[in-house]
Amino acid sequence: MHSHRPWRLMASLLVAAAFAVPAMAQQPPAASAPAAAPAAPAPAAPKPPRPKPVAGPAAAVAGAAKPTLLGQYGDWGAYTASPGGKKICFAIARPTSSATDPPGKPRNPSYMFISSRPAEKVINEVSIVIGYSFKPSSEATAEVGSASFALYTQQDGAWIKNAQEEAHVIDAMRAGQSAIVKGVSSKGTKSIDTFSLKGLSQALDRTDQECK
């Protein structure tokens, strides 16, 4: 039986931190406030107690495990991080279009995540976080060109069902234009997410170089 939950939790933290990296870099510097006339000194107030540092995996990601952007290639970003001291590399992208049937159903952001974890001897594992809970025991599909690949689902994550197909999926995605992921939520809502594959090949070349 597949069990991706421990890695899935860490991946979520890494993804959240990775998407924050470019956003933080693009923040404009704060405008300086005009100088004010000096005021009369006020009586010193007692200092409030210093807040305790936050512990847990989120703090680890924000610290030493915070992803480093290796490069942005088309629609794909290439990153590296070292959660728990174990180096990983990953390429990540959001869908260029998303639809639901019935239309307009709310859901969390979705993304495709291709990771290499040398310590676990994992190379270019494809995973999708869909933004809702999949229908229990259901399968999803990933379509690349004329090829269709079955996906194993667990909660809001999906992985290539047949591990022996993983390399073939990567080859198809490197040569393809888009990947279309279809699934069904626990409430019966169908979803279609289209991921552009522009820049994926270059992003994977970069992560492969970083995590040899």
Query: pLDDT band at residue 83, thresholds of 50, 70 and 90?
Result: confident
Please indicate whether residue 39 or residue 146 has the higher confidence score (pLDDT): 146
Helix residue spans in the chain (DSSP H): 5-25, 57-62, 166-175, 200-210
Cα dihedral 56, 5, 195, 96, rounded to 10, equals -40
Query: pLDDT band at residue 36, thresholds of 50, 70 and 90?
Result: very low
Q: Is the pLDDT confidence value at 118 over 60?
A: yes
Is residue 44 packed enough to be buried (19+ CB in 10 Å), middle (13-18) or exposed (0-12)?
exposed
pLDDT of 12: 59
Q: Is the pLDDT confidence value at 189 over 70?
A: yes
Helix (H) or strand (E) holding 101: strand 97-101
Q: Is the pLDDT confidence value at 185 over 70?
A: yes
The closest of 195, 128, 132 to 159, measured between CA atoms, is 128
- pLDDT tens for 85-106 read 889 999 999 999 999 999 989 9
Cα–Cα distances (Å) from 58 to 5, 14, 124, in that order, read 16, 9, 24
Residue 46: which residues within 8 A CB-CB, separation 6 or more?
A: none
* Average pLDDT of the residues in 142-148: 95
Query: pLDDT band at residue 24, thresholds of 50, 70 and 90?
Result: very low
pTM (2 d.p.): 0.75
Residue 176: which residues within 8 A CB-CB, separation 6 or more?
A: 144, 145, 197
Query: pLDDT band at residue 15, thresholds of 50, 70 and 90?
Result: low
Helix (H) or strand (E) holding 90: strand 88-93
Q: Give 98's strand partners.
A: 193
Task: Set out the domains of the chain in order of their start, with CATH numbers.
Answer: 5-19+63-210 (2.60.40.1880)
Please indicate whether residue 97 or residue 16 has the higher confidence score (pLDDT): 97
Cα–Cα distances (Å) from 51 to 47, 48, 54, 209, in that order, read 12, 9, 9, 41
Q: How far apart are the first and last CA of the chain?
A: 29
